[in-house]
Amino acid sequence: MTVRLLAAGDHFVLNRLLVDAVRARVAADLDVVELTLPWPVEPFGRVAEVAEASGGEEEMIEALRGVEICVTQMAPLTERILAASPALRLFCVGRGGPVNANLEAAARHGVKVTYAPGRNATATAEHTLAMILAAVRRIPQTHADLSEGTWRGDYYRYDSVGPELEGGVVGLVGYGAIGRKVAAMLAGLGASVLVHDPYVPEVSVPLEELLSRSTIVSLHARATRENAGMIGAAEIAAMPRGSVLVNCARGSLVDYDAVCDALESGHLFAAAFDVFPEEPVPKDSRLLTTPGIVMTPHLAGASRQTAEKAAAIVAEEVARYLRGEPLLHAAN
């Protein structure tokens, strides 16, 4: 029996990666149709009731006609799409959280949704370490100065230099796949690591203790309603003067105005961000003019291996589904 499958890839998790991974693991006869979504050439955004999606409802409804399985990273799965796609039974999302899928509506329509936890853990951990080092050693600022012909020897002054990682204390807020890899990297550099994560109580310390003891604080928590704005003015004030804040997790975790205030007052030495409350960052944002901030445009997870792992994880779920086995990463 032929199974109709939609590969709704984009310019990062390519259709050829998705299709090749599925065909390598599935013996069934597949009728594959493809749709290429515009991300990341065009930013993701909200589509109806789901967030961080690429593409529109109309094109998904058309592409899903007669489709039983969809493998994707960014395609939206909304109530309207589900209602128009009665053949759909499996929707595999190749990312750490299926925020682009309406999980409750999918369950009502009998559609199983899976995701790909840990697919970008290594890339994000490596990027986090790079952001920490870039911030404490002022690499972007000094590079920009040199590019403009300015030799900033004054950065060598005692009150202008940042802390070393060796012998320092780094606090990690969140201790999942990414946080654990960051901890291992930091330990290899001789840093002491503190962790705050209510889901890992055996190694967790109170957030207040972590903030007060850490020279560098790096965020790795998944965004929830409960932790929105968890690092605000009071939490930053609890950090030692001259410390560094890094966020490669989600923009909703931080009060960015409070960070700018702390940088301008000199309480924070530096900050490094890969994620923001609004993406792309508005042209009038204080983040673009406050000194001491290192920024990248939400690409901590961007590596070829991340895309390949995403394709492999969703392909394994397709294989389990077709063999009648329980799904490994079911979201609903």
Q: Which of 250, 316, 317, 320 is catalytic?
A: 250
Using a CB cutoff of 8 Å and minimum separation of 24, what contacts does 13-18 make? 13/72, 13/73, 13/94, 13/307, 13/310, 13/311, 14/307, 17/307, 17/308, 17/310, 17/311, 18/71, 18/72, 18/94, 18/311, 18/314, 18/315
Residues 146 and 270 both lie in one domain: yes
Is 236 in contact with 262 (CB distance < 8 Å)? yes
68 annotated active-site: no
250 annotated active-site: yes
pLDDT for res 223? 87
Q: Is residue 72 part of a domain?
A: yes
Q: 224-267, pLDDT tens digit by residue?
A: 889 999 999 999 999 999 999 999 999 999 999 999 999 999 99
Run of H or E including 42? none
241 annotated active-site: no
Confidence grade of residue 1 (pLDDT, cut at 50, 70, 90):
confident
Q: 116-173, pLDDT tens digit by residue?
A: 999 999 999 999 999 999 999 999 999 999 999 999 999 999 999 999 999 999 999 9
Residues 109 and 252 both lie in one domain: no
Tell whether the model's pLDDT for residue 95 goes beyond 90: yes
Q: Which of 34, 126, 279, 308 is catalytic?
A: 279
Residues 94 and 196 both lie in one domain: no
Confidence grade of residue 67 (pLDDT, cut at 50, 70, 90):
very high
Q: Is residue 143 part of a domain?
A: yes
Residues 11 and 109 both lie in one domain: yes
- DSSP structure string for 251-301: GGGB-HHHHHHHHHHTSEEEEEES--SSSSPPTT-GGGTSTTEEE--S-TT
Question: How many folded domains does the chain comprise?
Answer: 2
Residues, the chain: 332
Q: Which of 80, 127, 138, 298 is catalytic?
A: 298
Residues 126 and 107 both lie in one domain: no
Q: What is the mean pLDDT of residues 79-95?
A: 98
Pairing state between β 216-219 and 268-273: unpaired
Confidence grade of residue 89 (pLDDT, cut at 50, 70, 90):
very high
Q: What is the CATH number of the domain that holds 176?
A: 3.40.50.720
Domain span holding position 32: 2-119+303-323
Residues 287 and 141 both lie in one domain: yes
Q: Is residue 310 part of a domain?
A: yes
